[in-house]
Structures are given as C-alpha cells and as structure tokens.
C-alpha cells in the first residue's frame, strides 16, 4: 500500500514541524526536571534517594503511558491519542507549579509522565507511516532532533528563569503545549495507511490481548526481544546520566548556576548528533547508526565519569550528548519499521514502555549509589556496560530495514 507514503514534500515538512513541536515540548518538560531536581534538592533539602525518586516517578508514568497509548492508537487512531496525551502532560505540568509538598509534586509528575510517555511513540509511528520509504528514517530522526531543541530550551529556562523566578515558573511554562494542541487538531491527520486499514471491509480490529500476543509471535518475536533490550538499555543509561547531569556537576564542585551553564553547552551537542544520524541512517542503514553511536556513547560515558579536569569533563559531556541522542534518533526510526500497520503502534508503545522501566531504575539507582558514597566514575562504568549490551543486541538480533516498505 504505497498510497500512504506519497505525501508531497510540503506536506511532509508541515507534518514534521507539527509533530516536531509537540516533541520539543515533551523534551522541554523532561529536561526541566533535571534542573528543577537540583533546585529542589537545595530548597527542600531532599536526600539523594528523594532526588532519585523524583526524577524516576516521571518515567513510571511514561511506562504506563507508552503501553496504553500505543494500544489505544492502533484502535482509535494516531491523531486522537496524540492530542489527548499532549493535553494530559501539559495540564499536569502546569499544576505542578502549585505543588506545596514532595508527595503532591510526585503525583503530578506521574500524571505528566503518563502523557509524555504516550505521546512519543504515537508521534513517531504517525510520521513513519506518512513518509515514503526512501525518506522515512531520515524524517523520524529529524523528528527526534526536536528533542534536542526542547532540552536546549529547558537549559535556557533553567539558566535564566529558575535562579531568578523559581522552579514554579518553569512548570508554568510547561503548560503552554495545551494551547498548541488546539492547533494540532487541524494541522495533522491520521496516516492514509492507517485510515485505509480501518475502512477496509475485511479488516477486523484486534483485541488488546491479540495485539500484545501478536508482537511476541513467530514473525515478530526476534525483533521484539531485540527492541526491548535496546529500549531498556538506552533509556536506563540516558535517564540515569542526563537527569543527574546538573547534580553530577555540583558533586564535582561547581555551583548551581555554573552547573546549568555547562549542561547547556553539553546539550547543544545533541543537535549535530541527530543531524549526522539522520544522514547516516539512509546512507549506511539503521543497524550501522545504532551500533556505532551506542559504542561511542559507552566510551563517552566512561570518559565523562572519570574525567579529572574541567576541560575533559565538558569535552566528554559533549561527546556523550552527541552520540547518545544520535542513537535515540536511530532507535525511534527503526522501531516502527519492524511491525505491520495493525500492531505497529502497539509494538512501538510496548517497547517504549519496557524501556521506561529502565528510566525508572536508572536515576533512582544513581541516587542510591550517591547516598552510599559510590564515586561518579564507578557509577558511570555501570552505564558503559549497559550501553554495550544494547549495541550487542542490535548487532546480533537486528534486521536491516533501510529502504524497505512498511508492511500492512
């Protein structure tokens, strides 16, 4: 069914911008958590375990959101679920500004995480199904590049807003996407590939149980095992490292403001990481990008954790951002290509959901290890090993999808 992938270039660009801006707002909300955690740790005298729990609770919500939204998107459509998840996380983010205690704030961050976790796999599926095979990987990686823009925006808010106006203002800014959802209602549509399947007289919608079982049946089992390992290791390491970056910088002796400044510099390296991955993914393939970028992420993690000078720390942090986020782009492009249309969003959502379990464990584990006086260097060796496992899974179990049409 090629009609689903014949959208004109202007329509593709409009879709990329529309979905990309919602992706950017997601990243802004996730990114701001790392900076707010550092500010709250000082203002509310949080223990390292509490800081780890606060940064993890978002991922708990994301795990539930990714699984449920993925299933719902295969039943009710990509557009409807995308809009509802965007509204959920925006409203919860705005309400977080009014939280007066740690417990209430954690509940609101769980709800915001639910919306965030649901939106991301649905948006990537929508774009993947709407673009021709020759451009599909590049477009999804470019969609993912909006994540870097969101993190840069969050770093700017942290640097210029939080020290002067407080962390509550940062959460209020996070409510802006609720207004953007009104624009998205008219600017995006479900992919023709999905709507034609629903309209088909012979098509029978699968039950939730059938969708879950389907991604673990013979044709898809190998891909699902590989993707769940990949998502777990990438999300575990990313959230364990990046949500703790400002705190790690402070543990290495820098002030709060100086830590925010250095993290902003490191975050800027995410953009070229995405752009190079977008180029290589169509030139050399998905497996090449994932394996190479993950291996270099692992090396960068070991370097960052054991850096002994200010210059080495910044250089290692730049490499870590560059390669880790490039790998994220490859992962989002690769995942939807491994499932047929009727269970594609379910497959992506379940893989992302399992990955979010890693996002729960990662930052919380760092908090526990910091509390027990483990060195930053030894903690980052854990991430080094974890990322290598993800690269090995793709190398041994992955199948190349470059240039292949999506299956129905």
Tokens of 385: 């090993």
pLDDT tens profile 139-185:
888 888 888 888 888 888 888 888 888 889 999 998 888 888 777 77
In-domain check, residue 201: no
In-domain check, residue 199: no
Locus of tokens 């002994």? 308
Q: What is the number of domains present in the chain?
A: 1
Sign for the pseudo-dihedral over CA of 181, 82, 234, 251: positive
In-domain check, residue 175: yes
Higher pLDDT, 255 or 31: 31
C-alpha distances out from residue 107 to 34, 54, 177, 189, Å:
17, 10, 20, 32
Percent residues over pLDDT 70 in the chain? 93
In-domain check, residue 328: yes
Is the confidence at residue 278, as pLDDT, over 70? Answer: yes
Mean pLDDT of the chain: 85
Q: Cα separation of 282 and 138, whole Å? A: 6
In-domain check, residue 253: yes
Q: Average pLDDT for residues 230-243, to the nearest whole number? A: 91
What is the domain extent for residue 378? 9-185+207-397
Q: Cα separation of 246 and 162, whole Å? A: 13
In-domain check, residue 315: yes
CATH label of the domain that carries residue 32: 1.20.1250.20
* Cβ burial 96-110 (10 Å sphere, 16+ → b, else e): bbebeeeeebbbbbb
What pLDDT is attached to residue 203? 52
In-domain check, residue 376: yes
From the list 325, 293, 335, 323, the residue with the least C-alpha distance to 127 is 335
In-domain check, residue 200: no
Higher pLDDT, 212 or 348: 348
Residue 2: pLDDT band with limits 50, 70, 90:
very low
pLDDT tens profile 9-62:
777 888 888 888 888 888 888 888 878 887 888 888 888 888 878 878 888 898
């Amino acid at each position: 069914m090629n009609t689903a992938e014949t959208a004109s270039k202007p329509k593709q660009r409009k879709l990329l911008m529309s979905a990309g801006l919602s992706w950017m707002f997601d990243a802004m909300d996730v990114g701001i958590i790392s900076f707010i955690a550092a500010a709250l740790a000082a203002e509310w005298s949080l223990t390292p375990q509490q800081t780890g729990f606060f940064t993890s609770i978002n991922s708990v919500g994301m795990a539930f959101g990714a699984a449920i939204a993925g299933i719902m998107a295969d039943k009710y459509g990509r557009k409807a679920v995308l809009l509802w998840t965007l509204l959920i996380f925006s409203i919860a983010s705005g309400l977080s500004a009014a939280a007066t205690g740690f417990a209430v704030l954690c509940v609101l961050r769980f709800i915001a995480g639910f919306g965030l976790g649901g939106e991301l796999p649905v948006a990537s599926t929508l774009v993947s199904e709407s673009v021709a095979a020759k451009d599909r990987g590049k477009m999804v990686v470019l969609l993912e590049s909006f994540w870097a823009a969101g993190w840069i925006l969050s770093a700017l808010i942290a640097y210029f807003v939080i020290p002067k106006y407080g962390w509550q203002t940062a959460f209020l800014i996070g409510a802006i996407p609720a207004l953007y959802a009104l624009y998205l209602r008219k600017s995006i549509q479900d992919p023709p590939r999905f709507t034609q399947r629903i309209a088909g007289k012979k098509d029978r919608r699968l039950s939730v149980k059938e969708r879950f079982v389907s991604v673990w049946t013979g044709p898809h089992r190998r891909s699902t095992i590989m993707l769940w390992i990949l998502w777990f290791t990438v999300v575990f390491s990313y959230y364990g490292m990046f949500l703790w970056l400002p705190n790690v910088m402070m543990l290495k002796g820098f002030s709060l403001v100086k830590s925010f400044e250095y993290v902003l510099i490191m975050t800027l390296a995410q953009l070229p990481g995405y752009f190079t991955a977008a180029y290589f993914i169509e030139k050399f393939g998905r497996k090449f990008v994932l394996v190479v970028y993950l291996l270099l992420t692992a090396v960068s993690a070991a370097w960052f954790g054991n850096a002994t000078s200010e210059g080495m720390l910044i250089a290692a942090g730049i490499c870590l951002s560059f390669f880790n986020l490039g790998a994220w782009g490859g992962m989002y492009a690769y995942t939807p290509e491994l499932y047929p249309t009727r269970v594609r969003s379910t497959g992506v959502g379940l893989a992302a959901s399992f990955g979010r379990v890693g996002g729960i464990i990662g930052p919380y584990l760092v908090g526990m290890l910091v509390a027990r006086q483990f060195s930053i260097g030894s903690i980052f060796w854990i991430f080094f090993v974890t990322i290598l496992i993800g690269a090995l899974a793709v190398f041994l179990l992955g199948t190349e999808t470059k240039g292949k049409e999506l299956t129905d």
